[in-house]
Amino acid sequence: MDPLIRFKEAHNKGIISNEVYDLVLKRFSLVVSGINRIEKASGIQFPIAYVEPSLAISSPNPNSYEFGILFARTIPVMTEGKFQVVIQISAPLVAYGLKGTIHAILAHEFLHYLELVRKISKMDLLSDEVSGNLFENIYADETRLFEARAVFKDRTLLNHIVKKFPSGFRDYKLEDKVIKYWIDKNLPKTNISLDTNTVKLSVESISKIRLDPEFLKRIDELEQKSAKFRKKKLY
């Protein structure tokens, strides 16, 4: 699949301007280098990824002026009984994010991917907690994921992750650029509620999923290493 196909289609329809289109195409190499870097640092293949032409924003409630920008999302897909995980990368991140920021966000979504596979392998997706509060979701996000130090053997990449995700992702310069050059210019955006940004798969769907035993073995090893790192934090 061409990772830029949806973005190119939006441009062909006149939804994306020539200026933004050229900028994203020019900077897409940063995404490619990030994926290659993550694969090398983890020894695990990155899932399918594509550039989404709209910006996903979320709000605790419809009447609130507070909103969060979701620069990337990890989405499970069941098609014709086959399971895939897709990483959705927002076009504004590619257009305006610094190299370290893009790589950190890709790495963070990669940790979501590993956690999703772990949950599926343990049939642990049916009672995933739901919260409509931004802070509560940030906390839950940080406590559920694998420890980055257990997954990546790349000190610079780890520094990027620690810097960008001290307690949920914040990059005020990037957010200001996205608001100024994307939201204020009425470029495409999608409003989602936090309680819909969750994984929901039926027991029947999960029972049909077949995962590579070697991959599951690697996931188990990373889970054990993560537990050791968390234990060290406590003491």
Residue 185 has pLDDT above 90, yes or no: yes
Share of the chain above pLDDT 70, in %: 76
User: How far, in Å, are 108, 122, 145, 163 from residue 168 at the CA level?
Assistant: 10, 26, 12, 10
Mean pLDDT of 176-191: 93
Q: Which two tokens stand for residue 43?
A: 């020894």
CA distance 229 to 20: 42
Q: How confident is the model at residue 131 (pLDDT cuts 50, 70, 90)?
A: very low
What is this structure's pTM? 0.85
3-state secondary structure of 130: coil
**Interhelix angle 155-164/99-121, nearest 10 degrees:** 90
Q: Can you give the pLDDT at residue 84?
A: 83
Residue 60 has pLDDT above 60, yes or no: no
Q: Can you give the pLDDT at residue 156?
A: 94
Mean pLDDT of 101-122: 91
Q: Can you give the pLDDT at residue 121?
A: 81
Q: Sign of the CA dihedral 158, 160, 165, 166?
A: positive
Closest CA to 181 of 96, 111, 100, 114: 96
Residue 34 has pLDDT above 60, yes or no: yes
Q: Which residue intervals of the chain are DSSP H helices?
A: 5-12, 18-42, 91-96, 99-121, 134-144, 148-151, 155-164, 172-178, 203-208, 213-234
Q: Can you give the pLDDT at residue 93?
A: 96
CA distance 106 to 101: 9
> Position of tokens 């086959």?
82
The most confident of 75-79, 107-111, 119-123, by mean pLDDT: 107-111
Mean pLDDT of 69-76: 89
3-state secondary structure of 129: coil
Q: Can you give the pLDDT at residue 76?
A: 84
CA distance 125 to 189: 28
Please, are residues 117 and 187 in contact by the beta-carbon 8 Å criterion? no
Q: Can you give the pLDDT at residue 58?
A: 79
> Position of tokens 């949950």?
119
Please, are residues 107 and 148 in contact by the beta-carbon 8 Å criterion? yes
Q: Can you give the pLDDT at residue 214?
A: 92
CA distance 183 to 192: 15
Q: Can you give the pLDDT at residue 139?
A: 35
Q: Can you give the pLDDT at residue 188?
A: 95
Quote the mean pLDDT of the chain. 83
Q: Can you give the pLDDT at residue 40?
A: 97
Residue 10 has pLDDT above 50, yes or no: yes
Q: Can you give the pLDDT at residue 163?
A: 82
Residue 164 has pLDDT above 90, yes or no: no
Residue 228 has pLDDT above 50, yes or no: yes
List the chain domain ranges: 5-234
CA distance 116 to 93: 23
Q: Can you give the pLDDT at residue 13?
A: 97
Residue 65 has pLDDT above 90, yes or no: no
Please, are residues 82 and 13 in contact by the beta-carbon 8 Å criterion? no
